[in-house]
Amino acid sequence: MPDTGSDPVALWQKMIGEMEKGLTAFANQAASSPEFSNATNQKANQASATAAGAQNQFGDFMEKYLLNMNLPSRAQMADMAERLRNVETQLKEIKAILQQMNAGVSPSGFAGAPRPPRTRRPAPPSGPPSREQE
C-alpha cells in the first residue's frame, strides 16, 4: 500500500478538499450577512428596472417599425377589436328590433291589415255568343 504522505495526488486532493471547505464556509457566512442580502436585493431591483426600460424601448421601436411598414400596432389592433365588438353589438340590437317589427308580417311579405276578399269576376270572353249563353 502506498504511503499517502508522500503521494502527490493524495496531497493535491486533500488540499483541494480543504480549499472547498473554506470557500463554502466563507460563502455561507457572506450570504447570511445583512449587507450581502441588501446588495443582492439592490442589484436585483436594478436588473428589473433595466429590463423594464429595455422592454419599453423595444416596444417603442416595434411601434415605429410597424408604422413605417404601414402595419397596425398591437394597441391599434386591440382598439379595432373593441370597436368591432361594439358594432356587432349594435347590429344584434338592430336585428332584434327588426325581428320584433316583422313579427306580424303576412306570408306575402307585407305587414298591415288583412286584404279584402276578391269578389269581382272576370269579364266573359268576347266573340259570338255560344248556345249556352242564349
pLDDT of residue 128: 66
Query: Could you tell me if 4 and 10 are in contact, meaning their C-beta atoms sit under 8 angstroms apart?
Result: yes
Side-chain half-sphere of 18: how many Cα atoms within 13 Å?
6
Place of cell 368591432: 84
Shortest CA distance to 31 belongs to which of 23, 112, 60?
23
More confident residue, 65 or 104: 65
Residues 76-96 pLDDT 10s? 899 999 999 999 999 999 999
pLDDT at 129: 62
CB 104 within 8 A of CB 111: yes
Question: What's the whole-number mean pLDDT along residues 46-73?
Answer: 88
**pTM value > 0.85:** no
pLDDT for the residue 77:
92
**Average pLDDT score, the chain:** 82
Distance of CA 35 to the CA centre of its chain: 43
Higher model confidence: residue 61 or residue 108? 61
Q: 24-58, pLDDT tens digit by residue?
A: 988 888 788 888 778 788 888 888 889 999 999 99
How far apart, in whole angstroms, are the C-alpha atoms of residue 113 and residue 103?
14
